[in-house]
Structure formats: C-alpha cells, structure tokens
Amino acid sequence: MNVTIEKALAATPDLVSGLNGLLPQLSSSAPLLTMKDLQEMVDSDAVTLFVATDGGVTVGTLTLVVFSIPTGLRAWIEDVIVDEGARGIGIGEALIVAAINEARTRGVRSIDLTSRPSRDAANALYRRLGFERRDTNVYRFMLDG
C-alpha cells in the first residue's frame, strides 16, 4: 500500500462515494452523504476533513473541528474511520498525527475525542499518541430531524 493523507479541498463525486463506503463501518445508522453535505464540510472554516487514499481509493478519514469558546481555541476529532481491509498498517495513526499538526498550526489549546470502550485498538492508539482518558460524562440530546 502507498497511502497518502490529504485535506479534502473540494467536494467531488469520487470523494462522496469513498466516504459513503466507509461510513457504515463506523455507524449503521449514519445517513449517506450527499454532495451538498460534503460541500458544506469542505467550505466550513471550522472543519478540516482528512482523507487517506491508496491509489485513488479512499481507505480512511478523520474530521477535525476547531472552534473558539471563552476558555480558548479548542478542537474535537470526530468520525475516525479506517477501512477494515486497511487496518493495522498505520493509517489511523497518520490521520491522528495530521489532525494534531493542523490543530497545533491553528493555535488550538486542546483536542478532545470520544471512542467506544470496545474499540480496543483505537483506544490503545489514542493513549499511545498522548491522549489522556478524562473522568467525565458524555451526554447526548437528540433533536428531531
């Protein structure tokens, strides 16, 4: 494999298709992306979408969201997905490192992420890269629509 990690700078049909191929590996309930959805992400100053490709095939993705709050510039890493057939060769690590470097360049104070406890390999990777488990509760309020 010859994997490259890049920021998505444009919404393309190939990218929509590649991401839609990965989404079910993260969530069985996530709706498929449309070109409009992807365009909104690419156009957003708050969102950096990283894409891992191998020979033009999308094999991974990560979303970095940067935002200002009263306590400083913060970031969240969301929707880290590496294709099942491409796991174990460092794609997840390369995506996380790219996000950390982008956040550092943008002056972010801290980066948060969540991961299901059952995702042993992912949790081990996050700890190895310096993320610390926080003693906190995560709540979700579902809105209609």
- Dihedral angle over CA of 9, 73, 115, 61, nearest 10: 10
Alpha carbons within 13 A on the beta-carbon side of 29 = 0
Q: What is the pLDDT of residue 145?
A: 60
In whole angstroms, what is the distance from residue 50 CA to residue 64 CA?
Answer: 8
pLDDT tens digit string along 21-65? 999 999 999 999 999 999 999 999 999 999 999 999 999 999 999
Domain covering 3-128: architecture = 3-Layer(aba) Sandwich (3.40)
Residue ranges of the domains in the chain? 3-128
Residue whose C-alpha is closest to residue 99's, from 112, 86, 89: 112
pLDDT tens digit string along 77-136? 999 999 999 999 999 999 999 999 999 999 999 999 999 899 999 999 999 999 999 999
Whether the per-residue pLDDT at 1 is higher than 90: the answer is no
| Count of residues making up the chain | 145
For the whole model, what pTM was predicted?
Answer: 0.94
What mean pLDDT is predicted for residues 6-15? 97
Residue whose C-alpha is closest to residue 138's, from 72, 48, 76, 65: 76
